[in-house]
Structure 1
């Protein structure tokens, strides 16, 4: 049987665990923690060591109950999809595992598995497939519907010169509706575009600033827009026109969601290490660059959260349900993911993307 050569081997294994891990004593004191826990807690091991875990999780946390249960029963306890509230840190979703260290030791291993992020990314990949599944339908609609629409539009124009004033009003309604359907087909047909996107280095802050200026001059004139940028961000790889379309779409959704009198939108960027996307053949794409559109609106209705990026899903009575589907397709074509979260009474749409590499 292979034995570790020394305690140093255990230390290496301990610090290799990529998820936050803590050893909790009988009195629920943090005995030690690994490197991933330092990153998660935004604090050094020395600072959190020998402190009651209740100081960070709260005295009534369900996680403390699972630690006690694991200690008393000597059986591992797993809590799925738990929203973890750690001191001075935004809440995050994890699978939380409490496991007794051994039968004679009352210490418990507490592990936070970031299942929430993987679920979001898997959901985003599902939405990518959903968006692309309408490709054939888009081509069919463009062909089968445009032809009769052209006939209707032409007939309306011919009738315009030979009908009464009252009937002309009806013809205007016909022409307006034809134009609306054609516009909808144009948007829907975008899903059928399988042309590879152009890849070039893009300063995402230029894209965000351009979209902000356009929004401020148009649909978001009376809304406060705050920019919170990380100036050290590297360039992203992609198509600037398509990325601008994504940002404008997200900004428009945010503008329509916020309260009329106190609406606020925050555009935020940052560098987020450790997020990787499996792209097949055991290859992984790093997605460290993040930009987010944050608003103080009421959020996405619970009943459509799981299908948010599917075509024709919308919380707006007048919405086509294609906007976020298109956002998901464009970002997935760039090799990135888009995710939605709700934190501190604010809705957050975050886009994670790869950086430019020569």
Structure 2
């Protein structure tokens, strides 16, 4: 509903200077803007938040006033130095892909514009933040889905082309083994062994070919079984932390396939973690999710969080493709298979990573309650 100027306000506007009138409208507009506006002093301490900024940060101005803005986050891809440079040089910048990681554990992606503004004849830093993670997530998910399916189809076609002649090669070696001298059979044995190894690799490339057998299970039972398995072989003394939401209802899952998915993800984390690293297994109810292009009101979010070195930025968008790996000795098949298994549950597997924290999240829709 539009704001109407009363008779008294009209009189004030008639008597006041144009500067005061501009200030009046500026104050009104900033508080009503959808864009989050944060005003910082020369020490990067919060001086003002509009309503949209309070919603973005999930904290009020009363709580954050005079607090250094970057202390609100456990991680932010914009540094103190870069913000101070804007104040010292007067040169604005706009970054369209800034990640805010909050102390509470969640993260958002925003577009940030930083500029210098004068308030009471003092230079302040003005941050304008617009949340873009939902749009980015949807567009990236659609793109990755298309690329993942194309890569999977290509790999499967190539795998079949390799597997057919391998069978003939192995059969020929077996026939030859019967005709040659005993001392020469080590060579045919080597051919058969390598043909079997390549066939096994091709089968892994083809991925799981059986649809999941779904039945109602408590997701924490699978998480606990996986925890027991990885705890038995723990040469690096990894600390495993379980943070479960006991209110999560039973959901339809294939216990074997979900267990394999978790083992693949945790196994990758263990390999890159140093001695005494940490892995957290966390479950929560997630609301208003987009899964494979569909809006899901309620879902189960099962997260594997580690404090390792993080996934290289140049492969984060392709980490679920076959043959893509951040390790020199990796095959790039574990996460591709995990993604396939989660897709078979009509869910999605997503990753958010930076040095010191990597989170893989399995999102599984909850059935609608009747």
Q: Provide the TM-score with structure 1 as the length reference.
A: 0.71
Question: Structure 1, residues 235-280: CA drift from partner, whole Å, max 9, x if none?
Answer: 4554333322211111221222223xx1534132143756632755
Match of 2:354 among 326, 342, 349: 342
Q: Tell me the CA shift for residue 226 of structure 1.
A: 0.6
Mapped to 1, the partners of 2:103 and 2:278 lie a distance apart of: 26
Other structure's SS at 1:24 match: strand
Question: Structure 1, residues 203-232: CA drift from partner, whole Å, max 9, x if none?
Answer: 3322222222233345x4554241221233
Would the aligned equivalents of 1:342 and 1:348 in 2 still touch at CA under 8 Å?
no
Match of 1:240 among 252, 255, 260: 255
Q: Which residue of structure 2 aligns with residue 266 of structure 1? A: 279
Match of 1:62 among 82, 85, 88: 82
Matches within 5 A, 1:213-224: 213-217=228-232, 220=234, 222-224=236-238
Matches within 5 A, 1:289-300: 289-300=300-311
Task: Check if 1:167 corresponds to 2:166.
Answer: no
Q: Tell me the CA shift for residue 132 of structure 1.
A: 1.4
Q: Which residue of structure 1 aligns with residue 327 of structure 2? A: 316
Q: Which residue of structure 2 aligns with residue 284 of structure 1? A: 295
Other structure's SS at 2:207 match: helix
Q: Tell me the CA shift for residue 96 of structure 1.
A: 1.4
Q: Which residue of structure 2 aligns with residue 3 of structure 1? A: 2
Match of 1:81 among 81, 85, 97: 97
Question: Structure 1, residues 125-144: CA drift from partner, whole Å, max 9, x if none?
Answer: 43322221145445544543
Q: Tell me the CA shift for residue 315 of structure 1.
A: 3.2
Mapped to 2, the partners of 1:26 and 1:340 lie a distance apart of: 32
Task: Check if 1:228 corresponds to 2:239.
Answer: no
Q: Tell me the CA shift for residue 324 of structure 1.
A: 1.7
Would the aligned equivalents of 1:265 and 1:293 in 2 still touch at CA under 8 Å?
no
Would the aligned equivalents of 2:286 and 2:301 in 1 still touch at CA under 8 Å?
no
Between the two proteins, the alignment pairs up a number of residues equal to 338
The structure with the larger Rg is: 2
Other structure's SS at 1:341 match: strand
Q: Provide the TM-score with structure 2 as the length reference.
A: 0.69
The 1:101/1:133 distance shift into structure 2, 3 A limit, reads same
Mapped to 1, the partners of 2:358 and 2:79 lie a distance apart of: 28
Question: Structure 1, residues 327-350: CA drift from partner, whole Å, max 9, x if none?
Answer: 23333442324113025x243333
Considering Cα pairs closer than 8 Å and 6+ residues apart, tell me whether 1 or 2 has the greater RCO: 1
Q: Which sits farther off after the overlay, 346-355 or 47-56?
A: 47-56
Other structure's SS at 1:178 match: helix
Match of 2:112 among 91, 96, 104: 96
Mapped to 2, the partners of 1:166 and 1:121 lie a distance apart of: 62
Q: Which residue of structure 1 aligns with residue 271 of structure 2? A: 256
In structure 2, stretches of 5+ residues that fail to align are 6-26
Matches within 5 A, 1:10-29: 17=34, 21-24=36-39, 29=46
Would the aligned equivalents of 1:131 and 1:310 in 2 still touch at CA under 8 Å?
yes
Would the aligned equivalents of 1:98 and 1:110 in 2 still touch at CA under 8 Å?
yes
Would the aligned equivalents of 2:248 and 2:285 in 1 still touch at CA under 8 Å?
no
Task: Check if 1:48 corresponds to 2:64.
Answer: yes
Would the aligned equivalents of 1:296 and 1:347 in 2 still touch at CA under 8 Å?
yes
The 1:85/1:157 distance shift into structure 2, 3 A limit, reads closer
